[in-house]
Amino acid sequence: MAKNRYIPRSKHDSGKHLALQELLMRKHFPCFKCSLRKGTLVCVGEITPCEECSTYKVRISLDRGMTPKVRILEPDIEPSRKIHMYSSGHLCLFKPEDQPWMDTDFLHKKILPWTAEWLVYYELFMMTGEWLGPEASHSSDTKEQQMKAC
């Protein structure tokens, strides 16, 4: 993800949308523990992307009106652009200009599957030393944008 962009106010911006996000995460991924406090939804759980892969403890946070942020809590992964991870430790799952987070998107349908997919590509990176996952082109970005991009 590029910088955390604000999503324009809509009928979903009342806080009910975050409550719905929490409800759907609990329904579809009961292994994730979610809490909603002061306009921020935080869900923490473990993902094992495939039988041969390690298990990762993941934190997904969503502030009202913003894009979700995903961080791997365990094991510790050193942030690197090579693996599509921001220096903050958040995963780069999509390029907002190409696939913006919409107020009609849901964590359980979009962010969680993308996180599992990112983990598979991370496992492959650990074996090969090369990122084999999809990449957004940053060639037309300014040098400053490239530094912020994943």
User: With the CA atoms of 50, 53, 55 and 56 taken in that order, what torsion angle do they form, in degrees rounded to the nearest 10?
Assistant: -90
Of the pLDDT bands very low, low, confident and very high (cuts 50, 70, 90), residue 49 is confident
How confident is the model at residue 14, as a pLDDT? 61
How many Å apart are CA 109 and CA 58, to the nearest integer? 16
- pLDDT exceeds cutoff 80 at 1: no
Q: What is the pTM of this model?
A: 0.81
Question: Where along the chain do its domains lie?
Answer: 11-148
The mean pLDDT value for 69-75 works out to 96
Please give the helix or strand (H or E) that residue 73 lies within, else none.
Answer: strand 69-74
The architecture in CATH of the region 11-148 reads Roll (3.10)
How confident is the model at residue 147, as a pLDDT? 42
- pLDDT exceeds cutoff 50 at 144: no
How many Å apart are CA 45 and CA 42, to the nearest integer? 10
How many Å apart are CA 53 and CA 50, to the nearest integer? 5
